[in-house]
Every structure is written in C-alpha cells, then in structure tokens.
Structure 1
Amino acid sequence: MATKEEPTSNPVNPGKPVDDPSKDIVPETAVVTKVTQKKIGHRRVDASTGQTTYKKTPSSALSGSIQLAISHTVAGLSSKPERDVLMQDFQVVETIVFPSEGSNLTPAHHFGEFTFRTYAPTAFRYFRDLFGIRPDDYMLSISRLPLRELSNPGASGSLFFVTHDDEFIIKTVQHKEAEFLQKLLPGYYMNLVQNPRTLLPKFYGLYNVQSGGKNIRMVVMNNLLPSVIKMHLKYDLKGSTYKRKASKHERAKKNPTYKDLDLLQDIPDGLTLEPDIHNALMKTMQRDCLVLQSFKIMDYSLLLAIHNLDEMEKEMAAKNKHAQNFKKGYRAAQSVMDSTMLRTKYSKDLDHWSGGIPAKNGKGERLLVFCGVIDILQCYKWKKKMEHTWKSMIADGDSVSVHRPSFYCERFQKFMGDHVFKKSVVKSQPKRQRDLLPNESPRPS
C-alpha cells in the first residue's frame, strides 16, 4: 500500500507547500551574473551581444539617423544659390526635428524622434567644393548603403563609421572638441584658401544628433586608409618617446596600431623617399605644424600606414591563388603605384597623394605609404598644462607627449625628418669611355 508523501514546505515562502522541491533549487548554470561591458568614454560594447552603444544610444540607430539627416540637409542646402563665405556663416546653426511619423519637411523613419543640428552649413559646403566633392556624391557616399562601424577605434572612446565607398569617416567628438572646431573654422578657412595642399584633416561637416536628452556631436572627415588595400604596419606617431610603445593588449589585435618606440625598433632605417617627394612632404608638414602652433594646438599625431608591395606578392603566391585573382589584386595595387609615381605632378600637389606615396624600407622593399595628421582638436589650455607638469615630474619633460605648442611643433618635425622619412641619395654615374667628347680625356684614377 502506497503511503501519501507530505508536501515539503517552501523555503522561500514558509507555510506554502511545494509539489516539487527540486524546482526551487537554482542550478549553478542558472545563476544570474552581471552582464559585463567594455567601456571607453561614452562608448560601450556589450560583451554578450557585441552591441555597441554611445551615450546609451545603439550605434545602428545612430548611424541610420546620421544618414537620413545628412542627406536631407545637404539636399536642402544644394537648392540654395552659392555665394562667398562671410564671417557670420561660421556661427550659423541650423536645427531640424525628425519625428518618427515624418512631417511636411522630413520623411518618416523608425529611429525614434531626434533633433539634428548642422553647424556652419555654408562654410562646410565651401570646404567640400574646395576639395572637389559634389553635393550628390557626398549624399550618395553617406546614405546609399549602411555605414560600417570600425571595431578597433582606439583609446579615445569615440565611435567611427566609414562610408561604403571608403571616402569618408564619421567620428563622434566630445563637446569641447566640437566647440573648439567651431572657433577654429575661420582660421581653418583662411588656411585652406592659402594652402589647399595639406596633410591636416579635411573636415566636411560638423553635426549634432539630439535624442533622449543626449547630444551626440560628430564630424565628417576624409578617410586616410582605404580598406581595399592591406596595411601591413600602422603607427600613431607624436614625436615623443615617453610611454610611446604599443601595449600587449594592442599588439594582440588583428590590426594593431603601434607607436613611436615601436617604429624606431621595427624600421630603424626609416622610409626612403625620392628627393622631390621628400622635399614636398616635409615642406607641407612644416607648414601644417606652424598652422597648428599658431592656434595653440598640440598632442596631434601622424597616422602612418604602410602597404608592402613585395610582401603582398609573396603572400598571394603562398596562398596559391589562381591567376585571375592574383592579377586582379596586383592590378589594384599597381594602379595606386602608377598614380603616385607621377612625381613631377605630385611633388607640387600633395592632395593627390591620398592614393599612397611610393617609398622603400631598409631592406629595399617597395612600399606604399599612407599618412596624415590627426587629432588636431586638442588646445594647450590649463588642463594640458597641468598634465605636462605632472608627467614632467616623473619623466624627462621634453620626452612626454603633452607639451607647449611651439616645442611640440619642433619636436614633431624633427622626429619625422630624423627617424621616419629619409631622402634617397641619387648616385651620379661615371661617364663611360665611349660617352666622352672628342676633346675630353678620362680622369686619372
């Protein structure tokens, strides 16, 4: 005869019976754990889902809002007649609201209502026109296909988006950086008028997306590194040696960004350039540094990426690619090489070097070098002065990155000229016996 089993009391709620006590036992695998997030500044990455947010706004929603708003505002601006840029144009801020259901001025969308601000639209239209960017091309590049988010943006905590055609980078910036760029615009405009050939960032737009009480500011810039070309080495160079070495975490990445001390170790002989290319590059760099110094800007970097043509050929041969794929990749590399080898043209026009500068390393390997000055929105104010003072107490003050603009300018140029870019030596060939004129005689040895 079966005995009736008394129900067990519930340990969570005493007095209430439980049919199956095992249901109240939480297995180890079901223990609730806190979701970890990787946080750098306002940028967060959910470790479990890989979802990126910026100021708690999903990056996918932010990129969609950017594409919609920029294409809409640029289209509206293109309908207005072109005119000269006036000083008051740098202070203009145009604001438009994008409700989800749409309005008489804006289309419907699924990103949630947001407010979009465009800073100095007439001035930036002039900048884009100066760099040869038509309004239609600008809109298509940004809005035709989804933006690609960079997974390795660096230590700034910013979000980086790249357009589908590799033309533009969209970067989130802090409030102080956006404010400084606004103040910089009149001087930036004057510099471009006098010197359109520059290694400085090319700013194409400054915008602000306001959603959920959060302001997300961003700039649109030129993209220095085309994704279709493999970069074998990449460096962020400041001309400083204090703690300027890539960390173990950075080195473990698929495409690490190395620093000044790494370059001195990896490429001790520097990069050799043809004399006319070297002269044009260093002259432009000197002019750019003096411009930054005049605005009291420091802590900028030279982003340097190297594509090794000889190593690429070996890699492709080792992979046993069939002839069609090999030729396709080779032609792509060679087309860049051919365009940059027109030295008589590009020695006078650095703007065309966005395709790469031909160079060689100490081993004589053929290289394509991509470079440009980045991170110029750092002004030498009291916060940077305090940082320099503090670092100088524990290290050589002249070796730390943060320094007064005049010293930073000189040190930056000296490092690039002494350690990075070297001028090739053209060896004169002795005349052969048959090349001598009738009245010439060979020199005695």
Structure 2
Amino acid sequence: MGQAIELYSPIYNQFRYIQMIIAQIDNINKLKSPSKEKDLSQPAPTSLLNLNTAFDPMSNEVVRPPPVTLYYNECFARIRATSSVSADLKAEFVNAKAPGYLPSPGRSPTFFMSSQTAKYLVKELKPSEVPLFLGFVQDYATYLETHPDSLLIRYLLFFKIDQTSFIIMPNAFAPPAVGLSAIPPAQLHPRLKYDLKGSTVHRTSKGDAILKDNNCNRLFVFDQKTRATVVNNLKLDSLFLKQHGFLDYSLLVGVTSSLKRYGRFEQEHKLTSKSLNAIMVNSLVEQDLQLIQKEVTEQKIHAFLTTNSELCYLQIIDFFTVYTPKKQMEKFFKSFAHPADQLSVQTPDFYCERFQRFISEIIISDFGM
C-alpha cells in the first residue's frame, strides 16, 4: 500500500517510534489520565508514556526515543475495547518491516503510514485539527459506546511525538478474515472507491484512485432491512457531527466486484458434468456469502452485502472542519462562480441536511425492483 519509506528518512524514523509506542500497548491500556477537572487553558488530560528507553524492533536494540504524550488515553482505551482490536494491533506494527507511506493528495503536509498488512493506518494531524479533536474526544468515545453500529471511523490512539500529533485508525477497506472455498480472498478488496459528500462543485476525480461525487454514476442497493440500518446509522452519525459544529465530512465507500460470479460457469442446455459442477460451486458461493456476512458482523467491519452480492464498505471520515470566518468568506466568494447550495463549504445544519438527503438518494432498497 502506498510507496516505500526510504530507510532512515524522517518518516521512517517516525514509524520506528510509533512501533515502540505500540509495543507498549499492554501498558498503555493500564494508564490512567489525571483525575483533575478539565482545565480550559489545557484542554486535554494527558498521560505520559515512560519511554526513556524502549526496544526498537527495527534495530533489535534498546534506544532512547523522543518524548511521547498520550491524549485522553482512557477514552481511547474504551474505544479499543469496543472495536475488536486485539493482539493484532501490536503485531501489525511491531512486525512491520517496510511500512507503506501515503502522501496527502492535497497541499497539506499530512501523510498516512500503514501497518504490515495495511489493516491499520497512522495519520499525522494538522495543527488546526488537534484542538478540535481534543474538545470532541470524550463525547466521541461515549457516542461510540452507546452507538456500537455507528459508521464513524474509529480512532484508536491519539499521541504526540515531540511536537507532531498522530492518530491510529483501522483501514476502512481492510477485508474480513474468512476461510473461503469458492470466492478468492483477494476479491474481498474493493474494486472501486468513492469519497462522497453530496456536493458537486470541484467533486470530480481525474484518474485518482478514489472517485468523487461527479464520478459516481451508480446506486448502492441493499435489502430493505440492511438499507434501513445503514441509512439510520448514517443519519444519527451526521446529527452527532452537526451537534459538534462539524462539516465537510465524507462518506467513504468501497465496493467489490459481484462475488457470486466466481461460482458461475457457462451453462449448457443438457445436464452434463460441467453444469453439475456449476450447481455445486454456486452452492459453495452461497455458503461463502453467508460466512462473509457473519464474519463482517463479528469482526465489527463496516461492510454490507448489496443485492448484487458486492461487499460494500462504508465509513464516515474527515470530520474535523468547522464553520470559521475563513470558511464563511470562502463560501461567499465561491458562490459567485458556482451554485451556493452545491458548494462543499456550508453551515453545519445545511451540510447535515444535504448529506442526509444525498445518502437517502444513493442508498436504496430492492423493494419493487
């Protein structure tokens, strides 16, 4: 995933320090945040992780890493406990030899790094995002506990190395781990990926791996029960974000090919060994589809089978934007050249309403089809 990190580059060293932090995850889970009441001048209770010396899995040596600060550790421990994060989080990072690196597609200096199999991602936070996150963390952790089916991206750990802040999150497109008989496991990775906001201005991808609103020329069709569950959760999530003044978030969608086609053979009119084989393999595919849905649920992966037997990954991401005076001016000037209601920059109320209307239009049920 992404490009290789040059040996001993600054990014490579950052990842080595992150490995040392994750190697201490068992101790991190036991750390307590200060019990004193929140001081608005210091908006985040923090825990200091004692890494005066730490084992470096890259060099097999004990080294002295830079200072590490954990933000709201107890909140993130609660999120990790409800997100099916187990020993593989530690193994994914400590065992990584050549972590992937994804530079930001925009002008921002932020970047992503991936764990060994890209099951988890590390994101550098912009300085402007840090105070927004700090003021949101406690409500965010409580919301995820009370809404376990929420489609908000799960942030698992928030920490600072020297003066740079990072978050660790699951990869929204990491496939379920299942033992399949008829469906090739590689086909559980998305074939198409979309970043959707419900706006049309500057929402066209030109050869990018992630498509945008104007590139999305399809609907996502589920059975009635699944559709109701998905749309309801997305509406609750967007209302929660609106309450915190957030806007400009995206619905990240990944869609596989139809999984049923892997059991299909060219049918013949006569009952031959070939057509018998087709019947048997199709039966295996049905069993595999049921297994996939079961494992997706148990592994708490935000994915659902469409009526066309595609595995559709869904997640709300990138919600640390608020309607500042700068954003108001941006909307004002852009509205001279584009329809105001189609701009990405909106008030939180309008953005939420438009987002909900949009998802209701593209996520539909098979009723009457």
TM-score, with structure 2 as normaliser = 0.78
- Structure 1 pair 302–241 and aligned structure 2 pair: CA distance change class (3 A): same
Q: Please name the residue that 2:250 is paired with.
A: 301
Partners in 1 of 2:167 and 2:13 — Cα distance? 17
Please show how residues 82-231 of structure 1 align to structure 2 within 5 Å: 88=38, 91-96=44-49, 98=51, 103=52, 105-107=53-55, 109=61, 113-134=65-86, 136-146=87-97, 148-151=99-102, 153-155=104-106, 156-210=108-162, 215-226=163-174, 228=186, 229-231=188-190
Decide whether aligned partners of structure 1 residues 315 and 331 sit closer, same or farther in structure 2, where only a CA change above 3 A counts: closer
Once the two structures are superposed, what CA deviation does each residue of 1:395-431 show, in whole Å capped at 9, x if it has no partner? Answer: 111000110011101111111111x21111158xxxx
RCO higher in 1 or 2 (8 Å CA, sep ≥ 6)? Answer: 2
SS at match of 1:169: strand
1:242 aligns with 2:201: yes
Cα shift at 1:243: 1.8
Structure 1: how far apart are the matches of 2:251 and 2:302?
17
> d(CA) in 2 for partners of 1:332 and 1:356?
21
Partner of 1:13: none
Q: CA deviation at 1:336?
A: 6.9
Q: CA separation of 1:375/1:336 partners in 2, compared to 1, >3 Å: closer, same or farther?
A: farther
Of 179-188 and 137-146, the range deviating more from structure 2: 137-146
Of 183-192 and 293-302, the range deviating more from structure 2: 183-192
Match of 1:62 among 7, 10, 14: 14
Pairs within 5 Å for 1:338-377: 338-339=290-291, 341=293, 354=301, 356-360=303-307, 365-377=308-320
| Rounded Cα–Cα distance in structure 2 between residues aligned with 1:261 and 1:182 | 34
How many residues are aligned here? 333
**Structure 1 residue aligned with 2:222, among 255, 270, 273?**
273
* TM-aligned CA distance change 1:280 to 1:58, over 3 Å: same
- Cα distance in structure 1, aligned partners of 2:119 and 2:138: 25
CA pair 272-338 structure 1, distance change in 2 beyond 3 A:
same
Which residue, 261, 282, 302 being the options, matches 2:214?
A: 261
* 1:224 shift after superposition: 0.8
Structure 1 residue 97 displacement after superposition:
6.9
Q: Deviations over 1:359-389 (max 9, x none)?
A: 14xxxx4311111000011122222222222
Deviations 1:163-193 (A, max 9, x none): 2244322111111212211110122123123
1:339–1:311: structure 2 CA closer, same or farther, 3 Å change rule?
closer
User: How far apart are the structure 2 equivalents of 1:246 and 1:239?
Assistant: 15
Distance of 1:388 and 1:332 partners within structure 2: 53
**Alpha-carbon distance change, 426 to 237 in structure 1, aligned in 2, over 3 angstroms:** same
Cα deviation, 1:314-373, whole Å, max 9, x if unaligned, reads: 9999xxxxxxxxxxxx9999787324546xx99xx7x8662631114xxxx431111100
Q: 1:386 aligns with which of 322, 326, 329?
A: 329
Distance 1:305 1:157, change over 3 A: farther
Contact (CA 8 Å) 2:223, 2:365: kept in 1 or not? Answer: yes
Matches of 1:188 and 1:332, distance apart in 2: 41
Counterpart check, 1:233 vs 2:233:
no
Q: Aligned partners of 1:182, 1:384: CA distance in 2, in Å?
A: 21
DSSP 3-state at the match of 1:415: helix
Q: CA deviation at 1:113?
A: 4.5
- Could you say if the C-alpha distance between residues 58 and 110 of structure 1 is closer, same or farther in structure 2, counting changes exceeding 3 Å? farther
Match of residue 180 from structure 2: none
> Structure 2: 5+ residue runs without aligned partners?
176-185, 267-281
Task: For residues 12-71 of structure 1, give each alpha carbon's deviation from its aligned partner in whole angstroms, at most 9, with x where no partner exists.
Answer: xxxxxxxxxxxxxxxxxxxxxxxxxxxxxxxxx9xxxx7669xx9622211111111232
Deviates more, 1:154-163 or 1:397-406: 154-163
Tell me the CA shift for residue 309 of structure 1.
2.3
How has the CA–CA distance of structure 1 residues 143 and 87 changed in structure 2, closer, same or farther, with 3 Å as cutoff? farther
Aligned-pair Cα RMSD in Å: 3.7
Within 2, Cα distance between the matches of 1:162 and 1:290? 30
Contiguous gaps of at least 5 residues in structure 1: 1-44, 318-329, 428-445
Q: Distance in 2 between matches of 1:286 and 1:179?
A: 25
SS at match of 1:224: coil
